[in-house]
Structure 1
Amino acid sequence: MSKVTMRTASLATLAFALSAGAAWAQDQQAAPAPAEAESDAPPAPDIVVTGTRLRTGTFSTPTPVTAVTAAALETAAPGNLAEGLKQLPSIVPTGGQTAGGGTRAGGQNFLNLRGLGILRGLVLIDGRRYVPADPRLVTDINLIPQMLVERVDVVTGGASATYGSDAVGGVANFVLNRKLNGVRFTVSNGISQRGDNQEFKAAAAFGLNLGQIGHLVVGAEYYDNQPVSGDSRAFRVTAANQLRNPAGTPTLVTGNDLRTPFTPGGLIVNGAGGSTVNNALIRGRKFEVGGVLTPYDYGTLATNVGIANGTQNGGDGFRVSTGQEIVRPLKRRSIFAHADFALSDSVNLYLEGNYGWTLSNSQSSPTISTVSIARGNAFLAQVAPALVAQMTSLGVTGFTLNRLTTEAGPTYTGNENASLRGLVGLEGSLGKFNWDVSYQYGRNDNHSPMYNNLITANLTRAVNAVRDTSGNIVCADTLSTDPNRRAAAAGCVPFNPFGLGAPSPEALAYVMGTSVFDTRTEMQVAGANLSGDLFKLPAGPLGAAVGVEWRNAKAATTSDPISQGGGYRLVNQQNFFGEYTVKEVFGELNIPLLADKPLFRRLSANLAGRHTDYSASGGVNTWKVGLNWELGGGLKLRGTISRDIRAPNLEDLYATGRQNNITITDALTNRQYLAVPNLTFGNTALRPEKATTKVVGLVYQPEWLSGLSLAVDYYDIKIRDAIANIGGQTAVEQCNLANQASPLCAFVTRDTTNAVIGTRTSPINFSSQATSGVDFESQYRIDMRNGDRLTFRLLGNYTAHNRVSSPLITNPVDDVANLITQSIGSAQPRWRGTLFANYEGKVFGTTLQGRYIGGFTWDKTRVLGRDTDFNAIKPQFYVDGEVTARIRSFGGEQTLFLNVQNLLDHQPPYAPNPNGATPLPTDPNLYDQIGRMFRVGIRGRF
Structure 2
Amino acid sequence: MRRFQLKLSASLLAIAMPFAPAFAQQADQPDSAAADAEGNEGNAIIVTGSRIRSGTFNAPTPVTAVSADQLSMAAPGNMADALKQIPSVVPGGGTTAGGGTRAGGQNFLNLRGLGNSRTLVLLDNRRFVPTGPDLLADINLIPQGLVERVDVVTGGASAAYGSDAVAGVANFILNRRLTGLRVNATTGISQRGDNEEIRLSVNGGFSGLDGRLHVIAGGEYFENAGVRGDERQFRRTAGNQVLDPARPGFLTRIDDYRTAYTTGGLVVVGTGGTTANRNLVFGTQFGDGGNPLPYDYGTVSTTLRNATGTQNGGDGFRTSTGQEIVRPLNRTSAFTHIDLEVAAGLTLYTEGLYARTNSEFANSPTTRTFNISRNNPYLAQVAPALVTQLNALGLTGISMNRLTLERGPTLTTNENETIRGVVGAEGEIGNWSWDLSYQYGRNDTHSPTATNLITTNFTRALNAVVATAGNPGGIAAGTITCADLVNADATVRANAAGCSPFNPFGAGSPSSASLDYVFGTSVFDTRTTQQVVDASVSGSLFDLPAGPVEVAVGGEWRKVSAVTTADATSIAGGYRLINQQPFAGSVTVKEAFGEVQIPVFDGSAIGSFDVNLAARVTDYSTSGEVTTWKAGAVWQPVDELRIRGTYSRDIRAPNLEELFATGRQNNITIQDAFTNSTYLSVPNRTLGNAALTPEKAKTFVVGFVYQPNWLDNFSLAVDYFDIRITDAIANVGGQNAVEQCNLSNQTSPICAFVERNAANAVIGTRTSPFNLTSQETNGIDIETQYRTQLGESTDLTLRGFATYTGKNLTDNPFNAVNNDAVGDLAQSVQPRWRGTLSANLDNDGWGAFIQARYIHSFTWDRLRTLGVDTDFNHVPAQVYLDGQVSVKIEDWGGEQEVFLNVSNLLDKGWVYAPIRGGATPLPTNPNLYDQVGRMFRIGLRARF
Query: Common fold, TM-score beyond 0.5?
Result: yes
Give the residue type in structure 1 aligned to 2:929.
Y
- Equivalence map 1:379-394=2 (5 Å): 379-394=378-393
Distance 1:903 1:124 in 2: 33
The DSSP-based 3-state class of the residue aligned with 2:726 is strand
Task: Judge which range, 96-105 or 540-549, deviates more.
Answer: 96-105
Distance 1:27 1:286 in 2: 63
Deviation at 1:384, TM superposition (A): 1.4
Deviation at 1:44, TM superposition (A): 12
Give the structure 1 partner of residue 294 of structure 2: 295
Give the structure 2 partner of residue 349 of structure 1: 348
Contact 2:32 2:44 (C-alpha < 8 Å) held by counterparts: no
- Structure 1 pair 206–273 and aligned structure 2 pair: CA distance change class (3 A): same
Task: Judge which range, 803-812 or 849-858, deviates more.
Answer: 803-812
Give the structure 2 partner of residue 505 of structure 1: 512
The DSSP-based 3-state class of the residue aligned with 1:388 is helix
The DSSP-based 3-state class of the residue aligned with 2:460 is helix
- Structure 1 pair 916–34 and aligned structure 2 pair: CA distance change class (3 A): farther
Give the residue type in structure 2 aligned to 1:752.
A
Give the structure 2 partner of residue 368 of structure 1: 367
Distance 2:655 2:220 in 1: 31
Distance 1:560 1:38 in 2: 60
The DSSP-based 3-state class of the residue aligned with 1:697 is strand
Distance 1:57 1:145 in 2: 26
Task: Judge which range, 187-196 or 280-289, deviates more.
Answer: 280-289
Contact 1:256 1:313 (C-alpha < 8 Å) held by counterparts: yes
Deviation at 1:754, TM superposition (A): 1.2
Task: Judge which range, 698-707 or 323-332, deviates more.
Answer: 698-707
Q: Which of 188, 191, 202 is 1:190 aligned to?
A: 188
Give the residue type in structure 2 aligned to 1:687.
T
- Structure 1 pair 708–44 and aligned structure 2 pair: CA distance change class (3 A): closer
Distance 1:48 1:765 in 2: 38
The DSSP-based 3-state class of the residue aligned with 2:738 is helix
Give the structure 2 partner of residue 837 of structure 1: 839
Contact 1:250 1:865 (C-alpha < 8 Å) held by counterparts: no
1:582 aligns to 2:589 (yes or no): yes
Contact 1:161 1:608 (C-alpha < 8 Å) held by counterparts: yes
Deviation at 1:33, TM superposition (A): 4.8
Deviation at 1:363, TM superposition (A): 1.4
Distance 1:175 1:51 in 2: 11
Deviation at 1:37, TM superposition (A): 9.0
Give the structure 1 partner of residue 808 of structure 2: 802
1:548 aligns to 2:550 (yes or no): no
Deviation at 1:38, TM superposition (A): 12
Q: Which of 605, 608, 630 is 2:611 aligned to?
A: 605
Give the structure 1 partner of residue 3 of structure 2: none
Contact 2:896 2:941 (C-alpha < 8 Å) held by counterparts: yes
Give the structure 2 partner of residue 660 of structure 1: 666
Task: Judge which range, 831-840 or 294-303, deviates more.
Answer: 294-303
Give the structure 2 partner of residue 768 of structure 1: 774
- Structure 1 pair 554–45 and aligned structure 2 pair: CA distance change class (3 A): farther
Contact 1:417 1:445 (C-alpha < 8 Å) held by counterparts: yes
Give the structure 1 partner of residue 208 of structure 2: 210
Give the structure 1 partner of residue 909 of structure 2: 907
Distance 2:537 2:99 in 1: 47
Give the structure 2 partner of residue 9 of structure 1: none
Give the residue type in structure 2 aligned to 1:503.
P
- Structure 1 pair 833–494 and aligned structure 2 pair: CA distance change class (3 A): same
Give the residue type in structure 2 aligned to 1:856.
F
Contact 1:26 1:848 (C-alpha < 8 Å) held by counterparts: no
The DSSP-based 3-state class of the residue aligned with 2:890 is strand
Distance 1:651 1:27 in 2: 44
Give the residue type in structure 1 aligned to 2:494.
A
The number of aligned residues is 911
Distance 1:785 1:343 in 2: 49
Give the residue type in structure 1 aligned to 2:185.
V
1:681 aligns to 2:693 (yes or no): no
Distance 1:271 1:933 in 2: 51
- Equivalence map 1:147-226=2 (5 Å): 147-212=145-210, 213-226=212-225
Give the structure 1 partner of residue 77 of structure 2: 79
Deviation at 1:56, TM superposition (A): 2.3
Deviation at 1:906, TM superposition (A): 0.5
Distance 2:141 2:308 in 1: 40
Task: Judge which range, 801-810 or 305-314, deviates more.
Answer: 305-314
Contact 2:47 2:55 (C-alpha < 8 Å) held by counterparts: no
- Structure 1 pair 495–582 and aligned structure 2 pair: CA distance change class (3 A): same
Distance 2:775 2:202 in 1: 44
The DSSP-based 3-state class of the residue aligned with 1:496 is coil
Task: Judge which range, 390-399 or 80-89, deviates more.
Answer: 390-399
Give the residue type in structure 2 aligned to 1:528.
A
Contact 2:670 2:679 (C-alpha < 8 Å) held by counterparts: yes
Give the residue type in structure 1 aligned to 2:429.
L
Distance 2:422 2:635 in 1: 38
- Structure 1 pair 488–250 and aligned structure 2 pair: CA distance change class (3 A): closer
1:882 aligns to 2:884 (yes or no): yes
Deviation at 1:703, TM superposition (A): 1.9
The DSSP-based 3-state class of the residue aligned with 1:343 is strand
Contact 1:288 1:499 (C-alpha < 8 Å) held by counterparts: yes
The Cα offsets for residues 478-497 of structure 1, whole Å up to 9 and x where unpaired, read as 01111221111001011111
Give the structure 2 partner of residue 856 of structure 1: 858
The Cα offsets for residues 284-315 of structure 1, whole Å up to 9 and x where unpaired, read as 11111111111111112222222222222211
- Structure 1 pair 848–348 and aligned structure 2 pair: CA distance change class (3 A): same
- Structure 1 pair 99–263 and aligned structure 2 pair: CA distance change class (3 A): same
Give the structure 2 partner of residue 526 of structure 1: 533
The DSSP-based 3-state class of the residue aligned with 1:656 is coil
The DSSP-based 3-state class of the residue aligned with 2:741 is helix
The Cα offsets for residues 759-791 of structure 1, whole Å up to 9 and x where unpaired, read as 111000000000000000000001356232110
**Structure 1: unaligned runs, 5 residues or longer:** 1-24
Distance 1:576 1:766 in 2: 24
- Equivalence map 1:808-819=2 (5 Å): 808-819=814-825
The Cα offsets for residues 415-451 of structure 1, whole Å up to 9 and x where unpaired, read as 1100100000000011110000000000110011101
The DSSP-based 3-state class of the residue aligned with 1:318 is coil
Distance 2:524 2:805 in 1: 40
Deviation at 1:366, TM superposition (A): 2.0
Distance 2:488 2:108 in 1: 55
- Structure 1 pair 34–95 and aligned structure 2 pair: CA distance change class (3 A): farther
Deviation at 1:627, TM superposition (A): 0.3
- Equivalence map 1:85-100=2 (5 Å): 85-100=83-98
The Cα offsets for residues 507-529 of structure 1, whole Å up to 9 and x where unpaired, read as 11111111010001100000100
**Structure 2: unaligned runs, 5 residues or longer:** 1-20, 469-476
Give the structure 2 partner of residue 651 of structure 1: 657
- Structure 1 pair 653–101 and aligned structure 2 pair: CA distance change class (3 A): closer
Give the residue type in structure 2 aligned to 1:355.
Y
- Equivalence map 1:379-458=2 (5 Å): 379-458=378-457
Give the structure 2 partner of residue 281 of structure 1: 280
Q: % of aligned pairs identical?
A: 59
1:234 aligns to 2:244 (yes or no): no
Q: Which of 684, 691, 699 is 1:693 aligned to?
A: 699
Contact 1:208 1:217 (C-alpha < 8 Å) held by counterparts: yes
Contact 1:717 1:771 (C-alpha < 8 Å) held by counterparts: yes
The DSSP-based 3-state class of the residue aligned with 1:840 is strand
Deviation at 1:43, TM superposition (A): 12
The DSSP-based 3-state class of the residue aligned with 1:919 is coil
Give the superposed CA RMSD.
Answer: 1.8
Distance 2:844 2:44 in 1: 31
Distance 1:431 1:44 in 2: 24
Distance 2:741 2:302 in 1: 22
The Cα offsets for residues 595-641 of structure 1, whole Å up to 9 and x where unpaired, read as 001121x2100111000000011110000000011122321000000
Give the structure 2 partner of residue 627 of structure 1: 633
Distance 1:581 1:694 in 2: 30
TM-score under structure 1 length normalisation: 0.95
Task: Judge which range, 584-593 or 307-316, deviates more.
Answer: 307-316
1:134 aligns to 2:136 (yes or no): no
The DSSP-based 3-state class of the residue aligned with 2:631 is strand
Give the residue type in structure 2 aligned to 1:226.
A
The Cα offsets for residues 909-932 of structure 1, whole Å up to 9 and x where unpaired, read as 100111111111111000111100
